[in-house]
Amino acid sequence: MKTQNWKELELPLSDSVLKTIEKFGFPYMTPVQAASIPLLLKGKDVAAEAVTGSGKTIAFLVPLLEILQKRNEKWKPIEIGAIIISPTRELAIQINEVLQKFLDNIPDLKQVLLVGGTTIAEDADRLKAGANIIVATPGRLEDMLSNCKSINLTAYVKSLEVLILDEADRLLDLGFSATLDTILSYLPRLRRTGLFSATQTKELQQLIRAGLRNPAVITVKEKPNISTPTNLINNYVIVNAEYKLSIMIDFIQRKGINLKYMIFLSTCACVDYFSHVAQTMLPTIQVFAIHGKMKNKRYKVFNDFRSIESGILICTDVMARGIDISEVDWVLQYDPPCSASSFVHRCGRTARIGNEGNALLFLLKTEDAYVEFIKRNQKVDLQQIVLEPSIISYKKCLTCMRNLQKQDRSLFDKANRAFVSYVQAYNKHECNLILRLKDIDLGKLAMGFGLLRMPRMPELKGKDMSNFQEEDTDINSITYSDKQKEKSRLEKLKIFRDTGVWPKAQKRKCKQTEPWSENKKKKMEKQENRKKRKEKKLKQKMSENSTKKRKKKMNEQDIKDLAKDIALIKKLKKKKISQEEFDTAFGTD
């Protein structure tokens, strides 16, 4: 990956930037850095596509800082010269940390991180304390521009020199298209814009055309037609549904508990459940869990995992993009990702910046076509490895999962939710032409989750469950370790035994939570409808005013004509005019 030295650039870098780069220990630029930095420094807009882990963050931070430092006028305490937009909090915080290392040597510039988790008023206070660079997630930045009355941020972005959209395709995948349009409407057009991503999409091409002026499109790949780093070894293994967990646990123990693993699962409920199981099965290794519903807890868990030398992070695709965790030895994809591009991003959490890495995809026997799909769609070749299941390990995992559920009913609930969410997510998979729910033995799948009994759900109707072995235990005897929850359950159980009907949960008065993108979409629709209603009312009012004016004009003319007629009649009576003259003037001749 070696290219030219940092000091060999046509446009020389400042000493403050070079000092920080030396601290990072990267004597040579990566291909994406060598391609994009000179163009941005010359004032070009750039749309860069490069494999994950190729140093894109440095590729946009270096020219951004150089441009801000070379401005003739000194930056005011509150004057925004650059904005960096990132799809997730974790990635924004990570970019902010790297930026801070540069700014330690550039005291004249200040940065502010806007990612939510705090009130708008608190963010406004931090902006008032001084800001020249904003690192933000799109939702919070839009709020600050549109809804914050305590600080007029729109006035402070008029001097904007650089806008960076990091993981631009992911911004669009998460439904931020309308939000980005709103943000762009507040920003000056005479700016340098950089779009950085590991994959290109049709939506991204539309954004390039809309937001960039004659951009230079850069595609950097280490080898033609390869989407992942060359020092990343991609593997897959074919397993039976019931043995999947035990094979993975055996694999980790065999490779070594002194390594760093990231395990990707398809749903938040699966992460909640299997993180407990993994910690019980592997008591000597630290197990962390992250998913999208954790919100404020996510960064603490993420930071803890980054700081340790070995451990396991079990997560959803919320951790698949741009996150830089040093020395991840293995990425284990327990489930095929919901989209083909997510496969590449998951793998990219290892083998970063020239380091070696390994990835392993677990596939069921009915999912073997996914290997060819990834090869054609993402240009990734997967090598098959064979891992034989151990009956002893399988029984040990099954016993562990079922014992955990018997000890605490909350784990019983988690197991059922995990299974239900997995089946529902699988049924809606992007690749449902080759990954079909009807091909899976759901009985064996339920054994792989260690269920005590099959849950009731529409997807199971009419399915063969003969391979599921139900545990011989009284489900109602399993108690919650939480005394308050257990008390509530016993009260409901008493009503059920007396009436034969389980009491329905009372509807909460609070609003039902929904995805941010859906909430935003509804909000935009309401605003659009309100705008249409206002325009309609305005048109009606204008039409009414026009009619009134016409009527008023008609009334005035009628009065004048009537006055003339009366004057003629008086003249005729006084014999001032003849009958012939009257008839001619009156129009009756």
Other Cβ atoms less than 10 A from the Cβ of 496: the count is 13
Give the pLDDT of residue 209. 57
Q: Is residue 354 scored above 60 in pLDDT? A: no
The number of angstroms, rounded, from the C-alpha of 338 to the middle of its chain's C-alpha atoms is 14
What pLDDT does 524 receive? 77
Write b or e for each residue in 119-155: b if 16 or more Cβ atoms lie within 10 A of its Cβ, otherwise e. Answer: ebeebbeebeeebbbbbbbbbbbbbbbeebeebebee
Q: Is the predicted pLDDT of residue 508 greater than 60, yes or no?
A: no
Residue 58 has pLDDT above 80, yes or no: yes
pLDDT at 227: 56
Residue 81 has pLDDT above 50, yes or no: yes
Whole-number percent of the chain with pLDDT over 70: 86
Residue 515: pLDDT band (50, 70, 90) is: low
Q: Lowest mean pLDDT: which of 161-165, 413-417, 555-559, 568-572?
A: 555-559
Residue 281 clears pLDDT 50, i.e. is over it: yes
Quickly count: other Cβ atoms within 10 Å of residue 356's Cβ: 11
Q: In what order do the strands lie in the sheet with 46-50?
A: 111-114, 131-136, 78-85, 162-166, 192-197, 46-50, 216-220
pTM of the model: 0.64
What pairs with residue 232 in β-bridges? 357
Kindly report the backbone phi and psi dihedral angles of residue 290, in degrees, each rounded to the nearest multiple of 5, phi listed first: -140, 135
Which whole-number Å values give the CA distances from 75 to 67, 80, 133, 157, 259, in the listed order?
12, 8, 11, 12, 46
> Is pLDDT larger for residue 547 or for residue 424?
424
Residue of 510 and 452 predicted with greater confidence = 452
pLDDT exceeds cutoff 60 at 372: yes
Phi and psi torsions of 463, nearest 5° = -90, 150
Q: What is the pLDDT of residues 326-335, one digit of tens each?
A: 678 899 999 8
- The C-alpha atoms of residue 187 and residue 320 are separated, in whole angstroms, by 29
Q: How confident is the model at residue 1 (pLDDT cuts 50, 70, 90)?
A: very low
Residue 96 pLDDT: 93
d(CA 274, CA 371): 25
What distance in Å separates the CA atoms of residue 227 and residue 345, rounded to the nearest whole number?
10
3-state secondary structure at position 509: coil
pLDDT surpassing 90 at residue 420: yes
Question: How big is the chain by its Cα radius of gyration, in Å?
Answer: 34
**Which residues, including other chains, have CB under 8 Å from residue 1's CB and lie 6 or more apart?**
28, 30, 31, 54, 222, 353, 354
d(CA 289, CA 319): 11
Confidence class for position 2, pLDDT limits 50, 70, 90: very low
Q: CA triplet 400, 406, 409: central angle to 5 degrees?
A: 120
Residue 246: per-residue pLDDT: 96
Position 94 confidence tier, pLDDT thresholds 50, 70, 90 = confident
pLDDT of residue 240: 94
pLDDT for 447 equals 95
Task: Between 435 and 509, name the one with better pLDDT.
Answer: 435
How many angstroms from the chain centroid is the CA of residue 285? 30
Helix/strand/coil percentages in the chain, nearest 5: 50, 15, 35
Query: How many Å is the maximal CA-CA distance in the chain?
Result: 131
Q: Comparing 275 with 201, which gets the higher pLDDT? A: 275
Between 91 and 453, the more confident residue is 453
| % of the chain residues with pLDDT over 90 | 35
User: How confident is the model over 293-313, as pLDDT tens digits?
Assistant: 887 777 788 888 888 889 999
Q: Is residue 33 a contact partner of residue 63, using CB atoms and an 8 Å limit?
A: no
Give the model's pLDDT for residue 264: 92
The 10s digit of each residue's pLDDT in 119-155 is: 888 999 999 999 999 999 998 999 999 888 888 999 9
Which residue, 586, 546, 554, 558, is CA-closest to 570? 586
Domain 232-460 CATH assignment equals 3.40.50.300: yes
Mean pLDDT of 217-234: 66
Q: What is the pLDDT of residue 64?
A: 94
pLDDT of 506 over the 50 cut: yes
pLDDT of residue 510: 44
Please indicate whether residue 250 or residue 580 has the higher confidence score (pLDDT).
250
**What does the alpha-carbon distance between residue 57 and residue 412 come to, in Å, rounded to a whole number?**
43
Q: For residue 555, what pLDDT is reported? A: 66
Question: What are the backbone dihedrals phi and psi of residue 262, each rounded to the nearest 5 degrees, phi first?
Answer: -120, 125
Q: Which residue has the tokens 């034969």?
A: 500
Please tell me the predicted confidence (pLDDT) of residue 511.
47
- What is the pLDDT averaged over residues 482-490? 88
DSSP for residue 319 = G
Instruction: Name the pLDDT band for 408 (thresholds 50, 70, 90).
Output: very high
Mean pLDDT calculated for residue range 5-22: 81
Q: What is the pLDDT of residue 49?
A: 81
Greater model confidence, 326 or 397: 397
pLDDT band per the 50, 70, 90 thresholds, residue 82? very high
pLDDT band at 448 (very low <50, low <70, confident <90, very high): very high
For domain 4-220, the CATH superfamily is P-loop containing nucleotide triphosphate hydrolases (3.40.50.300)
Average pLDDT, the chain: 83
Asked whether residue 265 carries a pLDDT value surpassing 80, the answer given is yes
> Above 70 in pLDDT, residue 206?
no
Residue 83 clears pLDDT 90, i.e. is over it: yes
pLDDT of 332 reads 93
